[in-house]
Chain A
Amino acid sequence: MTLILGIETSCDETAAAVVEDGRSIRSSVVSSQVDLHERFGGVVPEIASRAHAELVNPVIADALVEAGVDFRDLDAVAACHGPGLAGALLVGVSAAKALGLVLAVPYVGVNHLEAHLHAAWLQDPEVELPLAVLLASGGHTMVVVVEADARYRLLGETVDDAAGEAFDKVARFCGLGYPGGPVIDRLATQGDPRAIAFPRPMLTDGFDFSFSGLKTAVLNHVRRHPETDVRDLAASFQEAVVDVLVHKLLGAADGAGAPTLVIGGGVAANTSLRARALEAGTETGRRVLLPGLELCTDNAAMIAATAWWRLRSDGPTPLSAGADPSLRLPTSE
Protein backbone atom coordinates (compact mmCIF):
# COMPACT_ATOMS: atom_id res chain seq x y z
CA MET A 1 0.00 0.00 0.00
CA THR A 2 1.34 3.41 -1.00
CA LEU A 3 0.06 6.55 0.72
CA ILE A 4 0.67 9.88 -0.98
CA LEU A 5 -0.10 13.33 0.44
CA GLY A 6 -1.07 15.78 -2.31
CA ILE A 7 -1.07 19.59 -2.00
CA GLU A 8 -2.80 22.00 -4.38
CA THR A 9 -2.34 25.80 -4.23
CA SER A 10 -2.32 26.88 -7.88
CA CYS A 11 -5.26 29.28 -7.80
CA ASP A 12 -7.82 30.12 -5.11
CA GLU A 13 -8.34 26.78 -3.36
CA THR A 14 -5.94 25.58 -0.67
CA ALA A 15 -6.23 21.80 -0.69
CA ALA A 16 -4.56 18.69 0.73
CA ALA A 17 -5.50 15.03 0.34
CA VAL A 18 -4.26 11.55 1.14
CA VAL A 19 -4.71 8.98 -1.64
CA GLU A 20 -3.94 5.28 -1.43
CA ASP A 21 -2.36 3.55 -4.45
CA GLY A 22 -3.37 6.36 -6.79
CA ARG A 23 -7.02 5.37 -6.66
CA SER A 24 -8.66 5.39 -3.31
CA ILE A 25 -9.22 8.73 -1.60
CA ARG A 26 -8.53 8.50 2.13
CA SER A 27 -9.17 12.23 2.66
CA SER A 28 -9.62 15.36 0.59
CA VAL A 29 -9.76 18.77 2.25
CA VAL A 30 -10.42 21.96 0.30
CA SER A 31 -10.41 25.44 1.80
CA SER A 32 -11.90 27.90 -0.65
CA GLN A 33 -10.94 31.57 -0.74
CA VAL A 34 -13.93 32.62 -2.86
CA ASP A 35 -15.10 35.13 -0.23
CA LEU A 36 -11.70 36.89 -0.20
CA HIS A 37 -11.84 37.58 -3.95
CA GLU A 38 -15.55 38.27 -4.22
CA ARG A 39 -15.46 42.06 -4.07
CA PHE A 40 -12.79 42.19 -6.78
CA GLY A 41 -14.83 40.01 -9.17
CA GLY A 42 -11.87 37.73 -9.83
CA VAL A 43 -8.89 36.04 -8.21
CA VAL A 44 -6.29 38.55 -6.96
CA PRO A 45 -2.90 36.76 -7.08
CA GLU A 46 -1.31 38.48 -4.07
CA ILE A 47 -4.37 37.94 -1.88
CA ALA A 48 -4.52 34.29 -3.00
CA SER A 49 -0.85 33.73 -2.18
CA ARG A 50 -1.20 35.27 1.29
CA ALA A 51 -4.21 33.09 2.04
CA HIS A 52 -2.43 29.93 0.84
CA ALA A 53 0.48 30.68 3.17
CA GLU A 54 -1.94 30.99 6.10
CA LEU A 55 -4.02 27.95 5.24
CA VAL A 56 -1.68 25.33 3.84
CA ASN A 57 -0.41 23.90 7.15
CA PRO A 58 -3.85 23.66 8.83
CA VAL A 59 -5.25 22.05 5.68
CA ILE A 60 -2.42 19.47 5.63
CA ALA A 61 -3.13 18.70 9.29
CA ASP A 62 -6.83 18.23 8.56
CA ALA A 63 -6.13 15.91 5.62
CA LEU A 64 -3.94 13.67 7.77
CA VAL A 65 -6.46 13.55 10.62
CA GLU A 66 -9.34 12.75 8.24
CA ALA A 67 -7.29 9.99 6.62
CA GLY A 68 -6.36 8.63 10.04
CA VAL A 69 -2.66 8.70 9.25
CA ASP A 70 0.46 10.34 10.60
CA PHE A 71 3.32 12.07 8.73
CA ARG A 72 5.38 8.89 9.29
CA ASP A 73 2.87 6.81 7.31
CA LEU A 74 3.39 8.80 4.10
CA ASP A 75 5.34 7.18 1.24
CA ALA A 76 5.59 10.33 -0.91
CA VAL A 77 4.50 13.97 -0.92
CA ALA A 78 3.25 15.79 -4.03
CA ALA A 79 2.36 19.35 -4.93
CA CYS A 80 0.96 21.02 -8.00
CA HIS A 81 3.92 22.86 -9.59
CA GLY A 82 2.07 24.46 -12.50
CA PRO A 83 0.35 25.88 -14.38
CA GLY A 84 -1.05 28.51 -12.01
CA LEU A 85 -0.24 31.72 -10.14
CA ALA A 86 3.51 31.85 -9.44
CA GLY A 87 3.33 33.07 -5.85
CA ALA A 88 0.50 30.70 -5.04
CA LEU A 89 2.18 27.61 -6.53
CA LEU A 90 5.35 28.22 -4.54
CA VAL A 91 3.50 27.91 -1.22
CA GLY A 92 2.38 24.35 -1.96
CA VAL A 93 5.69 23.42 -3.57
CA SER A 94 7.62 24.74 -0.53
CA ALA A 95 5.45 22.79 1.90
CA ALA A 96 5.74 19.56 -0.11
CA LYS A 97 9.50 19.84 -0.57
CA ALA A 98 9.97 20.55 3.15
CA LEU A 99 8.02 17.38 3.94
CA GLY A 100 10.00 15.38 1.38
CA LEU A 101 13.20 16.50 3.12
CA VAL A 102 12.06 15.97 6.71
CA LEU A 103 10.28 12.66 6.13
CA ALA A 104 12.95 11.40 3.70
CA VAL A 105 10.32 10.39 1.14
CA PRO A 106 10.09 11.26 -2.58
CA TYR A 107 8.72 14.64 -3.63
CA VAL A 108 6.66 14.72 -6.83
CA GLY A 109 5.80 17.93 -8.70
CA VAL A 110 2.49 17.45 -10.51
CA ASN A 111 1.04 19.18 -13.58
CA HIS A 112 -2.34 20.68 -12.67
CA LEU A 113 -3.90 19.94 -16.07
CA GLU A 114 -2.78 16.32 -16.03
CA ALA A 115 -4.23 16.04 -12.53
CA HIS A 116 -7.63 17.23 -13.78
CA LEU A 117 -7.55 14.43 -16.38
CA HIS A 118 -6.76 11.90 -13.66
CA ALA A 119 -9.96 12.84 -11.84
CA ALA A 120 -11.73 10.51 -14.32
CA TRP A 121 -9.75 7.53 -13.01
CA LEU A 122 -10.46 8.51 -9.43
CA GLN A 123 -14.15 8.48 -10.30
CA ASP A 124 -13.93 5.13 -12.14
CA PRO A 125 -10.61 3.20 -12.25
CA GLU A 126 -11.99 0.82 -14.91
CA VAL A 127 -13.17 3.52 -17.32
CA GLU A 128 -12.92 2.49 -21.00
CA LEU A 129 -10.23 4.29 -23.04
CA PRO A 130 -9.68 6.39 -25.00
CA LEU A 131 -11.45 9.23 -23.23
CA ALA A 132 -12.55 12.44 -24.89
CA VAL A 133 -12.17 15.01 -22.13
CA LEU A 134 -13.44 18.57 -21.96
CA LEU A 135 -11.56 20.52 -19.31
CA ALA A 136 -13.17 23.89 -18.60
CA SER A 137 -12.58 26.19 -15.64
CA GLY A 138 -11.72 29.76 -14.76
CA GLY A 139 -8.14 29.15 -15.83
CA HIS A 140 -8.30 26.65 -18.70
CA THR A 141 -10.50 25.41 -21.51
CA MET A 142 -9.29 22.50 -23.63
CA VAL A 143 -10.26 19.26 -25.32
CA VAL A 144 -7.92 16.35 -24.74
CA VAL A 145 -7.95 12.71 -25.79
CA VAL A 146 -6.57 10.38 -23.11
CA GLU A 147 -5.13 7.14 -24.39
CA ALA A 148 -3.65 4.10 -22.66
CA ASP A 149 -0.66 4.59 -20.29
CA ALA A 150 -1.71 8.16 -19.48
CA ARG A 151 -0.79 9.49 -22.93
CA TYR A 152 -2.51 12.73 -23.88
CA ARG A 153 -3.35 14.39 -27.17
CA LEU A 154 -4.26 18.07 -26.81
CA LEU A 155 -6.70 18.74 -29.66
CA GLY A 156 -7.49 22.35 -28.91
CA GLU A 157 -7.64 25.04 -26.25
CA THR A 158 -8.85 28.57 -25.75
CA VAL A 159 -7.11 31.29 -27.71
CA ASP A 160 -8.27 34.02 -25.31
CA ASP A 161 -10.54 33.79 -22.23
CA ALA A 162 -11.19 30.52 -20.43
CA ALA A 163 -14.86 29.47 -20.27
CA GLY A 164 -15.10 30.12 -16.53
CA GLU A 165 -13.47 33.51 -17.02
CA ALA A 166 -16.20 34.42 -19.54
CA PHE A 167 -18.83 33.52 -16.93
CA ASP A 168 -17.07 35.69 -14.33
CA LYS A 169 -16.67 38.67 -16.67
CA VAL A 170 -20.28 38.61 -17.87
CA ALA A 171 -21.53 38.28 -14.29
CA ARG A 172 -19.32 41.14 -13.14
CA PHE A 173 -20.44 43.42 -15.97
CA CYS A 174 -24.10 42.70 -15.23
CA GLY A 175 -23.51 43.16 -11.48
CA LEU A 176 -24.59 39.60 -10.71
CA GLY A 177 -21.84 38.72 -8.24
CA TYR A 178 -18.86 36.39 -8.04
CA PRO A 179 -18.09 33.65 -8.95
CA GLY A 180 -20.08 34.05 -12.16
CA GLY A 181 -20.63 30.37 -12.93
CA PRO A 182 -23.08 29.44 -10.16
CA VAL A 183 -24.93 32.80 -10.40
CA ILE A 184 -25.50 32.55 -14.15
CA ASP A 185 -26.37 28.86 -13.86
CA ARG A 186 -29.07 29.68 -11.31
CA LEU A 187 -30.53 32.62 -13.25
CA ALA A 188 -30.47 30.63 -16.50
CA THR A 189 -32.87 28.03 -15.13
CA GLN A 190 -35.56 30.76 -15.10
CA GLY A 191 -34.70 32.28 -18.49
CA ASP A 192 -35.21 31.48 -22.16
CA PRO A 193 -32.01 30.17 -23.79
CA ARG A 194 -33.34 31.17 -27.22
CA ALA A 195 -34.25 34.74 -26.24
CA ILE A 196 -31.05 36.25 -27.65
CA ALA A 197 -29.06 34.72 -30.50
CA PHE A 198 -25.49 35.15 -29.32
CA PRO A 199 -22.65 34.01 -31.60
CA ARG A 200 -21.14 30.53 -31.23
CA PRO A 201 -17.49 31.47 -31.71
CA MET A 202 -15.31 29.03 -33.69
CA LEU A 203 -18.06 26.41 -33.50
CA THR A 204 -17.05 24.42 -36.58
CA ASP A 205 -13.53 25.75 -36.77
CA GLY A 206 -11.21 23.02 -35.43
CA PHE A 207 -10.90 22.40 -31.69
CA ASP A 208 -9.72 25.75 -30.39
CA PHE A 209 -12.07 27.95 -28.37
CA SER A 210 -12.57 31.71 -28.21
CA PHE A 211 -14.89 33.28 -25.65
CA SER A 212 -13.72 36.88 -25.76
CA GLY A 213 -15.97 37.75 -28.73
CA LEU A 214 -18.99 36.15 -27.09
CA LYS A 215 -18.35 38.14 -23.91
CA THR A 216 -18.18 41.35 -25.98
CA ALA A 217 -21.42 40.42 -27.76
CA VAL A 218 -23.13 40.06 -24.37
CA LEU A 219 -21.79 43.40 -23.15
CA ASN A 220 -22.87 45.15 -26.37
CA HIS A 221 -26.33 43.64 -26.12
CA VAL A 222 -26.74 44.90 -22.56
CA ARG A 223 -25.58 48.39 -23.55
CA ARG A 224 -28.05 48.53 -26.44
CA HIS A 225 -30.94 46.85 -24.63
CA PRO A 226 -30.60 47.68 -20.94
CA GLU A 227 -34.18 46.48 -20.44
CA THR A 228 -33.21 42.85 -21.25
CA ASP A 229 -34.38 40.38 -18.63
CA VAL A 230 -31.21 39.23 -16.89
CA ARG A 231 -32.55 35.67 -16.70
CA ASP A 232 -32.95 35.49 -20.50
CA LEU A 233 -29.51 37.02 -20.87
CA ALA A 234 -27.95 34.43 -18.54
CA ALA A 235 -29.75 31.55 -20.25
CA SER A 236 -28.83 32.69 -23.77
CA PHE A 237 -25.18 33.32 -22.89
CA GLN A 238 -24.87 29.99 -21.11
CA GLU A 239 -26.53 28.19 -24.02
CA ALA A 240 -23.96 29.64 -26.44
CA VAL A 241 -21.04 28.54 -24.24
CA VAL A 242 -22.45 25.06 -23.68
CA ASP A 243 -23.21 24.61 -27.41
CA VAL A 244 -19.58 25.25 -28.27
CA LEU A 245 -18.18 23.10 -25.44
CA VAL A 246 -20.36 20.08 -26.18
CA HIS A 247 -19.88 20.36 -29.95
CA LYS A 248 -16.08 20.26 -29.61
CA LEU A 249 -16.19 17.45 -27.09
CA LEU A 250 -18.29 15.30 -29.44
CA GLY A 251 -16.04 16.17 -32.38
CA ALA A 252 -13.02 15.04 -30.37
CA ALA A 253 -14.74 11.77 -29.45
CA ASP A 254 -15.66 11.15 -33.09
CA GLY A 255 -12.13 11.78 -34.31
CA ALA A 256 -10.54 9.53 -31.69
CA GLY A 257 -13.21 6.84 -31.72
CA ALA A 258 -13.54 7.42 -27.99
CA PRO A 259 -16.28 5.41 -26.25
CA THR A 260 -16.27 7.68 -23.20
CA LEU A 261 -16.95 11.38 -22.73
CA VAL A 262 -15.59 13.14 -19.63
CA ILE A 263 -16.05 16.70 -18.40
CA GLY A 264 -13.87 18.27 -15.74
CA GLY A 265 -12.83 21.61 -14.28
CA GLY A 266 -14.99 24.07 -12.37
CA VAL A 267 -17.32 24.74 -15.33
CA ALA A 268 -18.24 21.03 -15.25
CA ALA A 269 -20.37 21.99 -12.24
CA ASN A 270 -22.71 23.82 -14.65
CA THR A 271 -26.07 22.01 -14.66
CA SER A 272 -26.78 22.75 -18.31
CA LEU A 273 -23.36 21.48 -19.41
CA ARG A 274 -23.82 18.29 -17.39
CA ALA A 275 -27.29 17.69 -18.83
CA ARG A 276 -26.19 18.40 -22.40
CA ALA A 277 -23.13 16.14 -22.10
CA LEU A 278 -25.34 13.30 -20.86
CA GLU A 279 -27.75 13.94 -23.72
CA ALA A 280 -24.91 13.87 -26.24
CA GLY A 281 -23.71 10.57 -24.82
CA THR A 282 -27.13 8.99 -25.05
CA GLU A 283 -27.60 10.20 -28.63
CA THR A 284 -24.24 8.85 -29.80
CA GLY A 285 -24.18 5.67 -27.74
CA ARG A 286 -21.30 6.77 -25.54
CA ARG A 287 -20.77 6.53 -21.85
CA VAL A 288 -20.55 9.90 -20.09
CA LEU A 289 -18.38 10.11 -17.01
CA LEU A 290 -19.31 13.09 -14.85
CA PRO A 291 -16.89 13.22 -11.93
CA GLY A 292 -18.48 14.49 -8.73
CA LEU A 293 -18.27 18.24 -8.21
CA GLU A 294 -15.56 17.83 -5.58
CA LEU A 295 -13.41 16.07 -8.20
CA CYS A 296 -14.21 18.54 -11.00
CA THR A 297 -13.18 21.64 -9.13
CA ASP A 298 -9.60 22.12 -7.91
CA ASN A 299 -8.69 19.55 -5.27
CA ALA A 300 -5.61 17.76 -4.00
CA ALA A 301 -6.84 14.17 -4.42
CA MET A 302 -6.22 14.52 -8.16
CA ILE A 303 -2.69 15.77 -7.39
CA ALA A 304 -1.90 12.79 -5.14
CA ALA A 305 -3.42 10.32 -7.63
CA THR A 306 -1.39 11.73 -10.52
CA ALA A 307 1.75 11.68 -8.38
CA TRP A 308 1.34 7.93 -7.87
CA TRP A 309 1.42 7.39 -11.65
CA ARG A 310 4.24 9.84 -12.24
CA LEU A 311 6.35 8.38 -9.45
CA ARG A 312 6.14 4.95 -11.11
CA SER A 313 6.89 6.24 -14.61
CA ASP A 314 9.36 9.09 -13.99
CA GLY A 315 10.53 8.78 -10.38
CA PRO A 316 10.77 11.66 -7.87
CA THR A 317 11.18 15.34 -8.70
CA PRO A 318 14.48 16.82 -7.43
CA LEU A 319 14.26 19.04 -4.33
CA SER A 320 15.99 21.77 -6.36
CA ALA A 321 12.91 22.14 -8.59
CA GLY A 322 10.62 25.15 -8.38
CA ALA A 323 7.30 25.92 -10.04
CA ASP A 324 6.38 26.78 -13.62
CA PRO A 325 3.36 29.12 -13.86
CA SER A 326 2.97 28.43 -17.60
CA LEU A 327 3.53 24.67 -17.56
CA ARG A 328 1.91 22.86 -20.52
CA LEU A 329 0.13 19.54 -20.57
CA PRO A 330 2.67 16.80 -21.37
CA THR A 331 1.46 15.43 -24.71
CA SER A 332 2.44 12.31 -26.57
CA GLU A 333 3.36 13.90 -29.89
Chain B
Amino acid sequence: MQLLAIDTATPRVGVALGRDGRAVGEVALIGERRHAEQLVPAIEYLCREAGIGLRSLAAVAVGLGPGLFTGLRVGITTARTIAQALSIPVVGVPSLDLVAYPLRHTDRLVVVVADARRHEVFYAAYRPVPGGVQREGDYAIATPAAVVSDFDARGEEVLLVGDGVLAHWDVFLTLERAERAGPGAAYPSAAALIELATARVEREEFCAPADLEPLYLRRSDAEIEWDRLGR
Protein backbone atom coordinates (compact mmCIF):
# COMPACT_ATOMS: atom_id res chain seq x y z
CA MET B 1 0.00 0.00 0.00
CA GLN B 2 1.44 3.33 -1.11
CA LEU B 3 0.83 6.63 0.62
CA LEU B 4 1.66 10.29 0.03
CA ALA B 5 2.16 12.47 3.13
CA ILE B 6 2.22 16.27 3.23
CA ASP B 7 2.80 18.74 6.06
CA THR B 8 3.07 22.51 5.54
CA ALA B 9 2.02 23.77 8.98
CA THR B 10 5.40 25.37 9.70
CA PRO B 11 7.95 27.20 7.52
CA ARG B 12 9.09 23.72 6.51
CA VAL B 13 7.51 22.01 3.52
CA GLY B 14 7.54 18.27 4.24
CA VAL B 15 6.58 15.55 1.77
CA ALA B 16 7.06 11.80 2.06
CA LEU B 17 6.13 8.74 0.07
CA GLY B 18 5.49 5.52 1.90
CA ARG B 19 5.15 1.87 1.10
CA ASP B 20 3.61 -0.54 3.62
CA GLY B 21 3.89 1.85 6.52
CA ARG B 22 7.46 3.04 5.97
CA ALA B 23 8.70 6.17 4.30
CA VAL B 24 10.69 5.33 1.17
CA GLY B 25 11.54 8.94 0.40
CA GLU B 26 11.22 12.32 2.03
CA VAL B 27 11.76 15.94 1.02
CA ALA B 28 12.05 18.65 3.66
CA LEU B 29 12.60 22.27 2.66
CA ILE B 30 12.84 25.06 5.18
CA GLY B 31 11.89 27.98 2.98
CA GLU B 32 10.68 31.48 3.42
CA ARG B 33 7.06 30.45 3.56
CA ARG B 34 7.00 29.51 -0.11
CA HIS B 35 4.75 26.51 0.48
CA ALA B 36 2.63 27.06 -2.61
CA GLU B 37 5.68 27.30 -4.86
CA GLN B 38 7.60 24.36 -3.41
CA LEU B 39 5.00 21.74 -2.54
CA VAL B 40 3.90 20.44 -5.94
CA PRO B 41 7.44 20.33 -7.40
CA ALA B 42 8.55 18.42 -4.27
CA ILE B 43 5.80 15.83 -4.78
CA GLU B 44 6.70 15.57 -8.46
CA TYR B 45 10.39 15.03 -7.65
CA LEU B 46 9.71 12.41 -4.98
CA CYS B 47 7.36 10.38 -7.15
CA ARG B 48 9.84 10.38 -10.00
CA GLU B 49 12.85 9.43 -7.89
CA ALA B 50 11.00 6.84 -5.80
CA GLY B 51 9.42 5.35 -8.92
CA ILE B 52 5.92 5.65 -7.47
CA GLY B 53 3.19 6.92 -9.75
CA LEU B 54 0.49 9.08 -8.17
CA ARG B 55 -2.10 6.76 -9.67
CA SER B 56 -0.87 3.91 -7.49
CA LEU B 57 -1.55 5.77 -4.22
CA ALA B 58 -4.01 4.22 -1.78
CA ALA B 59 -4.52 7.46 0.18
CA VAL B 60 -3.14 10.92 0.86
CA ALA B 61 -2.25 12.02 4.40
CA VAL B 62 -1.93 15.62 5.52
CA GLY B 63 -0.91 17.54 8.64
CA LEU B 64 -3.85 19.59 9.96
CA GLY B 65 -1.88 22.09 12.04
CA PRO B 66 -2.10 24.10 14.17
CA GLY B 67 0.39 26.33 12.39
CA LEU B 68 0.75 28.89 9.64
CA PHE B 69 -2.71 29.58 8.22
CA THR B 70 -1.68 29.99 4.59
CA GLY B 71 0.70 27.03 4.75
CA LEU B 72 -2.06 24.83 6.17
CA ARG B 73 -4.47 25.80 3.42
CA VAL B 74 -1.88 25.10 0.73
CA GLY B 75 -1.14 21.64 2.14
CA ILE B 76 -4.72 20.65 2.87
CA THR B 77 -6.05 21.95 -0.45
CA THR B 78 -3.29 20.14 -2.34
CA ALA B 79 -3.95 16.89 -0.46
CA ARG B 80 -7.72 17.10 -0.86
CA THR B 81 -7.46 17.92 -4.56
CA ILE B 82 -5.08 15.06 -5.31
CA ALA B 83 -7.42 12.72 -3.44
CA GLN B 84 -10.44 14.14 -5.26
CA ALA B 85 -8.89 13.65 -8.71
CA LEU B 86 -7.76 10.11 -7.89
CA SER B 87 -10.94 9.16 -5.97
CA ILE B 88 -8.92 8.00 -2.98
CA PRO B 89 -9.35 8.78 0.73
CA VAL B 90 -7.54 11.50 2.60
CA VAL B 91 -6.42 11.23 6.21
CA GLY B 92 -5.70 14.21 8.48
CA VAL B 93 -3.34 14.10 11.47
CA PRO B 94 -2.60 17.08 13.75
CA SER B 95 0.87 18.47 12.99
CA LEU B 96 1.97 18.63 16.64
CA ASP B 97 1.54 14.83 16.77
CA LEU B 98 4.09 14.62 13.94
CA VAL B 99 6.68 16.38 16.08
CA ALA B 100 5.97 14.24 19.15
CA TYR B 101 5.87 10.79 17.53
CA PRO B 102 9.58 10.56 16.58
CA LEU B 103 10.43 11.27 20.28
CA ARG B 104 8.39 8.31 21.61
CA HIS B 105 11.50 6.59 23.06
CA THR B 106 12.16 9.26 25.67
CA ASP B 107 10.87 8.78 29.23
CA ARG B 108 10.02 12.43 29.67
CA LEU B 109 6.71 14.13 28.98
CA VAL B 110 7.06 15.52 25.43
CA VAL B 111 5.81 19.09 25.10
CA VAL B 112 5.49 20.20 21.49
CA VAL B 113 5.54 23.96 21.07
CA ALA B 114 4.96 25.50 17.63
CA ASP B 115 5.50 29.16 16.80
CA ALA B 116 2.12 30.89 16.43
CA ARG B 117 3.70 34.36 15.82
CA ARG B 118 2.55 37.46 17.72
CA HIS B 119 4.34 36.22 20.86
CA GLU B 120 2.13 33.18 21.16
CA VAL B 121 2.69 29.45 20.68
CA PHE B 122 0.53 26.44 19.87
CA TYR B 123 1.26 23.50 22.19
CA ALA B 124 0.26 20.04 23.37
CA ALA B 125 1.78 17.46 25.76
CA TYR B 126 2.39 13.78 24.95
CA ARG B 127 3.11 10.79 27.21
CA PRO B 128 5.34 8.15 25.56
CA VAL B 129 3.57 4.76 25.51
CA PRO B 130 4.61 1.46 23.89
CA GLY B 131 4.61 2.01 20.12
CA GLY B 132 3.82 5.70 20.17
CA VAL B 133 2.75 8.70 22.19
CA GLN B 134 -0.50 9.50 23.96
CA ARG B 135 -1.64 13.11 23.98
CA GLU B 136 -2.60 14.57 27.38
CA GLY B 137 -4.97 17.50 27.21
CA ASP B 138 -6.06 19.61 24.28
CA TYR B 139 -4.21 21.48 21.57
CA ALA B 140 -3.92 25.01 22.90
CA ILE B 141 -2.57 28.47 22.22
CA ALA B 142 -0.86 30.63 24.86
CA THR B 143 2.09 32.92 25.50
CA PRO B 144 5.46 31.18 25.98
CA ALA B 145 5.52 32.39 29.59
CA ALA B 146 2.12 30.82 30.27
CA VAL B 147 3.32 27.49 28.88
CA VAL B 148 6.39 27.63 31.12
CA SER B 149 4.34 28.31 34.25
CA ASP B 150 1.84 25.58 33.30
CA PHE B 151 4.56 22.90 33.18
CA ASP B 152 6.50 24.44 36.07
CA ALA B 153 3.42 23.83 38.23
CA ARG B 154 3.26 20.16 37.17
CA GLY B 155 6.84 19.65 38.40
CA GLU B 156 7.49 16.90 35.88
CA GLU B 157 10.54 16.13 33.74
CA VAL B 158 9.71 17.41 30.27
CA LEU B 159 11.25 17.45 26.82
CA LEU B 160 10.50 20.71 25.02
CA VAL B 161 10.49 20.51 21.23
CA GLY B 162 9.27 22.55 18.27
CA ASP B 163 9.98 25.76 16.39
CA GLY B 164 8.16 27.68 19.13
CA VAL B 165 10.88 26.60 21.55
CA LEU B 166 13.55 27.81 19.13
CA ALA B 167 11.76 31.14 18.62
CA HIS B 168 11.40 31.76 22.37
CA TRP B 169 14.52 29.96 23.60
CA ASP B 170 15.25 32.46 26.39
CA VAL B 171 11.77 32.04 27.87
CA PHE B 172 11.83 28.23 27.72
CA LEU B 173 15.33 28.22 29.22
CA THR B 174 13.71 29.28 32.50
CA LEU B 175 11.73 26.05 32.85
CA GLU B 176 13.37 23.73 35.36
CA ARG B 177 13.61 19.94 34.97
CA ALA B 178 13.33 20.51 31.18
CA GLU B 179 15.43 19.42 28.26
CA ARG B 180 15.20 21.26 25.00
CA ALA B 181 15.44 19.53 21.61
CA GLY B 182 17.28 21.31 18.79
CA PRO B 183 16.25 22.26 15.28
CA GLY B 184 16.66 18.72 13.93
CA ALA B 185 13.54 17.57 15.79
CA ALA B 186 11.61 20.83 15.70
CA TYR B 187 9.38 20.35 12.65
CA PRO B 188 6.51 17.98 11.81
CA SER B 189 7.92 14.83 10.23
CA ALA B 190 6.31 13.70 6.99
CA ALA B 191 7.87 10.26 7.56
CA ALA B 192 6.06 10.07 10.92
CA LEU B 193 2.88 11.03 9.08
CA ILE B 194 3.34 7.99 6.83
CA GLU B 195 3.54 5.72 9.88
CA LEU B 196 0.62 7.28 11.75
CA ALA B 197 -1.61 7.52 8.69
CA THR B 198 -0.94 3.97 7.50
CA ALA B 199 -2.48 2.54 10.68
CA ARG B 200 -5.55 4.69 10.16
CA VAL B 201 -5.86 3.79 6.48
CA GLU B 202 -5.66 0.10 7.42
CA ARG B 203 -8.45 0.62 9.96
CA GLU B 204 -10.32 2.61 7.27
CA GLU B 205 -10.60 5.61 9.58
CA PHE B 206 -11.36 8.06 6.82
CA CYS B 207 -13.32 11.23 7.09
CA ALA B 208 -15.19 12.94 4.29
CA PRO B 209 -12.86 15.40 2.54
CA ALA B 210 -15.22 18.20 3.60
CA ASP B 211 -14.69 17.32 7.28
CA LEU B 212 -10.94 17.66 6.98
CA GLU B 213 -10.73 20.92 8.90
CA PRO B 214 -7.48 22.75 9.58
CA LEU B 215 -6.80 23.26 13.31
CA TYR B 216 -6.68 27.05 13.26
CA LEU B 217 -7.09 27.51 17.06
CA ARG B 218 -7.23 31.25 16.48
CA ARG B 219 -9.95 33.24 14.83
CA SER B 220 -9.42 36.01 12.30
CA ASP B 221 -8.44 39.44 13.65
CA ALA B 222 -11.74 40.85 12.41
CA GLU B 223 -13.73 38.35 14.50
CA ILE B 224 -11.55 38.91 17.58
CA GLU B 225 -11.98 42.67 17.24
CA TRP B 226 -15.74 42.25 16.72
CA ASP B 227 -16.08 40.42 20.06
CA ARG B 228 -13.72 42.79 21.84
CA LEU B 229 -16.02 45.67 20.93
CA GLY B 230 -18.90 43.58 22.25
CA ARG B 231 -21.00 43.82 19.12
Using CB atoms and an 8 Å cutoff, list the residues of chain A in contact with chain B: 39-40, 44, 46-47, 49-50, 52-54, 56-58, 60-61, 71, 86-87, 90-91, 93-95, 97-103, 319-323
Chain A-chain B contacts (Cβ-Cβ < 8 Å), number? 100
Once bound together, how far apart are the Cα atoms of A151 and B226, in whole Å? 45
Whether A94 pairs with B223 at a CB distance below 8 angstroms is no
Q: Is B77 an interface residue (CB 8 A)?
A: yes
CB distance A322 to B36 under 8 Å?
yes
Q: How far is the CA of A94 from the CA of B84 in the complex (A)?
A: 13
Interface mask (B191-231 → A, CB under 8 Å = 1, otherwise 0): 00000000000000000011000101000111100100001
Q: Which residue of B lies closest to A47 (CB)?
A: B220
- Is B85 located at the chain interface by the 8 A CB criterion? yes
Docked-complex contact A94 and B37, CB < 8 angstroms: no
Q: Which residues of A contact B85 (CB under 8 A)?
A: 71, 98-99, 102-103
* Least CB separation from B44: chain A residue: A101
- In addition to A44-B220, A94-B40, A99-B81, 17 A-B residue pairs with Cβ atoms within 8 Å of each other are A39-B226, A44-B223, A46-B221, A47-B222, A52-B73, A53-B76, A57-B210, A87-B70, A91-B77, A93-B36, A97-B78, A101-B43, A101-B44, A101-B54, A320-B37, A322-B36, A323-B36
Write out the residue numbers on chain A whose beta carbons fall within 8 Å of the beta carbon of B209: 57
The 4 A-B pairs with the shortest beta carbon distances in the complex, nearest first, are A46-B220, A98-B81, A44-B222, A322-B37
In the assembled complex, B24 has its CB within 8 A of some CB on chain A: no
Residue of B nearest to A107 (CB): B40
Q: Once bound together, how far apart are the Cα atoms of A40 and B226, in whole Å?
A: 8
Asked if A95 meets B210 with Cβ closer than 8 Å, knowing A44-B220, A44-B222, A53-B73, the reply is no
Known: A47-B223, A87-B73, A102-B86. A57 touches B37 (CB 8 A): no
B: number of interface residues (CB 8 Å): 34
- Asked whether, in the complex, the Cβ of A49 is within 8 Å of the Cβ of B69, the reply is yes
Contact of A102 among B54, B220, B221 (CB under 8 A): B54
A-B contact pairs, 16 of them (CB 8 A): A39-B226, A39-B231, A40-B222, A46-B220, A46-B221, A50-B216, A57-B209, A90-B70, A90-B73, A90-B74, A98-B77, A98-B81, A98-B85, A99-B81, A99-B85, A322-B34
Q: In the complex, A312 Cα to B85 Cα: how many Å?
A: 25
Cα distance A122–B3 when bound, in Å? 42
Complex Cα spacing A13 to B73, Å = 17
Q: A39-B226, A320-B41 are in contact. Are A94 and B82 (CB under 8 A)?
A: no
A46 touches B54 (CB 8 A): no
Flag if B41 contacts A57 (CB, 8 Å). Answer: no
Q: Mark B38-53, 1 if CB is under 8 A from A, else 0.
A: 1111011000000000
- Chain B residues within 8 Å of A86, by CB: 70
A91-B73 contact, Cβ under 8 Å, with A58-B210, A101-B54, A322-B34: yes
B contact residues around A321 at 8 Å (CB):
37
Smallest CB gap from B213: residue in A: A54
Closest to B79 in A: A98
Cβ contact within 8 Å between A95 and B220: no
Contact yes or no, A95 B81, CB < 8 A: yes
**Cβ of A57 and Cβ of B81 under 8 Å apart?**
yes
Residues of chain B with a CB closer than 8 A to A50's CB:
69, 73, 214, 216, 220
A33 CB to closest chain B CB (Å) equals 13
Docked complex Cα distance between A149 and B170 (Å) = 61
A60 to B41 Cα, complex, angstroms: 22
- Cβ-closest chain B residue relative to A49: B73
Smallest CB gap from B223: residue in A: A47
